[in-house]
């Protein structure tokens, strides 16, 4: 794998980590400011946060594997 390809994987992992952090922030805001009234959006928000975190972890694992 070339250095450029590794850089692409690293950037992808960082992007996915940022997205996961944004979802986690939204979940935190819901818990801090809107519950119990905002409970209707909790399942969707939790699933989106879960999916984003999983994608971030998988992207980081791939980057680390390819980095060696």
DSSP state of 57: H
pLDDT number for residue 34:
93
Enter the pTM of the model.
0.91
CATH number at residue 7: 1.10.287
Provide the residue range defining the domain that includes 24: 3-67
DSSP 9-34: HHHHHHHHHHHHHHHHHHHHHIIIII
Overall domain count for the chain: 1
Please check whether residue 14 is in contact with residue 63, taking contact to mean a CB–CB distance below 8 angstroms.
Answer: no
pLDDT number for residue 42:
96
Taking only the tens place, the pLDDT of each residue in 1-46 is 899 999 999 999 999 999 999 999 999 999 999 999 999 999 999 9
């Amino acid at each position: 794998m070339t250095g450029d390809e590794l850089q692409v994987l690293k950037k992808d992992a960082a992007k996915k980590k940022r997205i996961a952090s944004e979802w986690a922030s939204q979940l935190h805001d819901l818990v801090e400011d809107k519950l119990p009234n905002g409970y209707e959006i909790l399942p969707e928000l939790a699933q989106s946060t879960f999916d984003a975190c999983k994608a971030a972890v998988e992207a980081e694992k791939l980057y680390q594997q390819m980095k060696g």
